[in-house]
Structure 1
Amino acid sequence: QLWMSQKHNKRMRLDPCFLGTREPGRGAHADQTIIILHAKVAQKSYGNEKRFFCPPPCVYITGHGWRITQDHLKGKKQVLCSVTYTLSVSVSVSLQQMFACAKSLFISDQDKRKHFRLLLQLFLGNRQEVGSFQSRMIKVISKPSQKRQSMKNADLCISSCSRVALFNRLRSQTVSTRYLSVDRGAFIASARQWTAFTITMGRCRADQGDFVLNEGFICYGCVVQLVCTETGVALPPMVIRKVNKQHAILDVDEPVSQLHKCSFQFRDDPQAFLCLSNDTIIQHQAQPSVRDPSRVVLNDGACWTIIGVEAVEFTFNQGPACIQTPVSPFPVITGLEVSSKVTDTLFSKIPHSTCLDS
């Protein structure tokens, strides 16, 4: 028996009674989950320049079923995956780390598509193919927009309760990129692994009291909170500020856009900004600008780039026997409705000609 669910924002689980003739015990908790994390937008490369996807697409595998698969492989403790767009990047997923990252993907200027999807092909350590999995749609942009965004470009705006990633890059050098991340409950700056955060907007201005959740687009000058989507660890509410030439601008209230440079000002201490120092997250004490009272001077570590991200989750269960041939592309079950005591209705989205065996 094979079943599949796809997660975008909320976990969707099938009724356990639907698991058919699976043998009890051994297969009951043998779920295998694949999570693809990727950015919502990607910059196009021009000429010999290669603008690698930032943050790079990541693959996580979770679930007890992978341990069972490992036992079948008799010690071959790796899962191989290929992430494809303009080129194929093969990476190894260690069953100890359960994580892989494709850092060499870029979009050539010869490609005229305005949107695309990533394709993940997953193989076991013995080269047996598990299947193919697609990401969400990714928008191609030439460079971050510096114009004030309107509703016509709503897909470039950062909305409240959406997922974002934050990274810092010194002097535009790729090798210096550090991502805001969470490790064992603590906020860190990581060169290898990034974390998706849910960004929520509070009251529209920074001086209006307690944090109360609001919907809509995130605007500069608003109070926001960053919450790790996996652990729930959160930073305190902060004021998001636009950054221009290493200055935080205090009197801008336009919508925050993809790949904008921004800073995060602590409400309790207006001179303190979220900052990295090597691999550590600290509070940086900014200095007022001598020439312009509406600006404060930041150091490099307090200037962050913000980008919207997606998390796509696939969960399946192979049952008592491992599959011998790949299921590609995977069928996606979107819901289960019980219409009577003896009849269940299954709503599924099955790409191309892939079928479910019953």
Structure 2
Amino acid sequence: MDRRDAGDDDRKGSSWCPPDPPPADSPLLHTLPLPSDPMSHLGTQREARDAPRSGGWSRRTGPGFQGSQDLGAAPADQNVVILHAKVAQKSYGNEKRFFCPPPCVYISGPGWRITQDHMKGYADSVHGYMCLDISSQSQADTFKLVFDEQPDSRRMFACAKSLFISDQDKRKHFCLLLRLFLGSRQEVGSFQSRMIKVISKPSQKRQSLKNADLCISSGSRVALFHRLRSQTVSTRYLSVDRGAFIASARRWTAFTITTVGDQGGMVMSEGFICYGLLVQLICTESGVALPPMVIRKVNKQQAILDVDEPVSQLHKVAFQFRDDFCSFLCLSNDAIIQYQAPPSSQDPSRVVLNDGSCWTIIGVESVEFTFNQSLACVQTPVSPFPSISRLEVNGGGHVAMLEVHGENFSPHLKVWFGSREAETMFKSPRSLLCVVPDVSFFSDGWRRLRHVITVPLSLIRTDGLIYRTSFSFTYTPELHLPLTPRGPASGGRREAGPHRGPEEKADVLLEMIHQEFTKANFHLFVQS
């Protein structure tokens, strides 16, 4: 995520700049060169926070989407994003192992201002609380979120710095619970994070398929942080601020980690990231990327060059630049630089690192909620927030049913295709069934169309609250070769005139019906 830390220490972080000759008294430190241009292919990697920009309420529909508009005005939408780690270490006894990186909440969308325009201060009007999703959670274990407004990005940010899970909690997985309020009385709703796995300590054993959830997959999201002498107060996170890589004490960035081919081509495999592979770190929000680097395992502040096992959660790693095998990604005084590592005098398969070249890697998750209260004065919370997991089409042509699978459905929800309400039937809290609207609702010239029509899917509560989704529905025309005229060799279209026989009249009539049916017959499928 592209974030800017308000702290002074972040302002000290320098951006990447062209390499200068190193000072005479520090031959091992070199300024990191400029990264390559932002990756233009990131649209294929977007999920969670990026989904709404390419596939949610602010999506751009296909060129065939002529007769429909998105529900409501996009400027009135309200957006909530929860960013958190995939695993959390358990605390034992009186110790408190705070979650690292700390869970973050981002709030954006002008709808917050529209809903609370009677309040004087925008930042003071929104506040929240975060805790673990257990009923026995005491008030002391609940962290109050204080949001800071970011003028440059037009969003608000808060993080829960002191959340932990004790050894009294025997669960192997848990969720974070976020409760948001406007002013002192109105509750916006409750929002859950994704599942977080509880571990006792980082695994040092070679990972197998039995512990696949602890491995780092290619194409997944990760965060990197550095902790000097294992001190919590010295933790710095690799972050991106206005296109530059910095070290932040408060805000962290989610990076997409992918394997890279030897020739520099992106390999979006679903395999695990293993030590010794060439990888690239790409900021999931801005698209800014670090140069391709080889990921190395770190043991006792030494990079091991001959290890090829999978990378696991909370492992200590180092990043070796491909063009200079002695150069490693390093943190120095809150700036990101290159460190020239000398070889080990005792083991040729190792190089000696400084403390700033050792990073801790951890997988991260992002969950997003987008809704719109502009069409109604909603006095009740937006939660429980419905979510769609998959879609299933039954039938086709002129009569098709769409079954929506997900969670938190109720009889008060209706499925909308663009600006068209679909006849919706409630089956269960996990399933809705609706009739697919005819394609003619979205284009006047639908009989002559020969291109797809894509409309966004939304869920609307009976009181007017709009829930945006990242799913869309696509109408695709059935393509046929031109029909070959039957009859005399002279060809040409035949009319069912009075001089035709009964069989020829029926044949021509069937042919005309078939042509009209082909024009109007659309196969339906779903894309998410």
TM-score (norm 2): 0.61
Q: 1:289 to 1:84 in 2, by over 3 A?
A: same
Q: 1:184 to 1:354 in 2, by over 3 A?
A: farther
Residue 349 of structure 1 deviates from its aligned partner by 2.9
**Secondary structure in 1 matching 2:279:** strand
Aligned to 2:201: 143
Is 1:88 the equivalent of 2:142?
yes
Is 1:13 the equivalent of 2:23?
no
Identity across matched positions, percent: 70
Residue 29 of structure 1 deviates from its aligned partner by 2.3
Residue 333 of structure 1 deviates from its aligned partner by 4.2
Q: 1:211 to 1:342 in 2, by over 3 A?
A: closer
Structure 1 letter corresponding to 2:85: A
Q: 1:301, 1:341 → 2: CA distance?
A: 63
Aligned 8 A contact 2:113 2:122 in 1: no
Larger radius of gyration: 2
Aligned to 2:433: none
Q: 1:322 to 1:94 in 2, by over 3 A?
A: farther
Q: 1:352, 1:344 → 2: CA distance?
A: 18
Aligned to 1:68: 114
- The superposition leaves residues 333-353 of structure 1 with CA deviations (integer Å, 9 ceiling, x where unpaired) of 457899788998572634275
**Secondary structure in 1 matching 2:147:** strand
Structure 2 letter corresponding to 1:44: K
State the structure with bigger RCO (CA 8 A, min sep 6), 1 or 2. 1
Aligned 8 A contact 1:168 1:301 in 2: yes
Count of equivalent residues: 344
Aligned 8 A contact 1:263 1:274 in 2: yes
- 1:133 corresponds to which of 191, 213, 217: 191
TM-score (norm 1): 0.89
- The superposition leaves residues 131-160 of structure 1 with CA deviations (integer Å, 9 ceiling, x where unpaired) of 111111100000000000001110000000
Is 1:37 the equivalent of 2:83?
yes
- 1:257 corresponds to which of 288, 298, 312: 312
Aligned 8 A contact 1:331 1:355 in 2: no
Aligned 8 A contact 2:239 2:251 in 1: yes
Q: 1:147 to 1:335 in 2, by over 3 A?
A: closer
Higher normalized helix content (fraction of residues):
2
Q: 2:397, 2:253 → 1: CA distance?
A: 43
Structure 2 letter corresponding to 1:29: P
Aligned 8 A contact 2:91 2:167 in 1: yes
Aligned to 2:24: none
Q: 2:231, 2:74 → 1: CA distance?
A: 48
Is 1:321 the equivalent of 2:403?
no
Is 1:161 the equivalent of 2:219?
yes
Is 1:281 the equivalent of 2:336?
yes
Cα RMSD of the aligned pairs, angstroms, is 2.5
Structure 2 letter corresponding to 1:67: R
**Secondary structure in 2 matching 1:98:** strand
Aligned to 1:226: 281
Q: 1:177 to 1:19 in 2, by over 3 A?
A: same
Structure 2 letter corresponding to 1:153: N
Structure 1 letter corresponding to 2:313: Q
Aligned 8 A contact 1:7 1:314 in 2: no
Is 1:347 the equivalent of 2:401?
no
Is 1:110 the equivalent of 2:168?
yes
Q: 1:257, 1:296 → 2: CA distance?
A: 21
My pick for the range that moved more, 87-96 or 98-107, is: 87-96
Q: 1:224 to 1:28 in 2, by over 3 A?
A: closer
**Secondary structure in 2 matching 1:48:** coil
Q: 1:187 to 1:172 in 2, by over 3 A?
A: same
Aligned to 1:188: 246
Q: 2:373, 2:210 → 1: CA distance?
A: 45
Residue 68 of structure 1 deviates from its aligned partner by 1.8
**Secondary structure in 2 matching 1:44:** strand
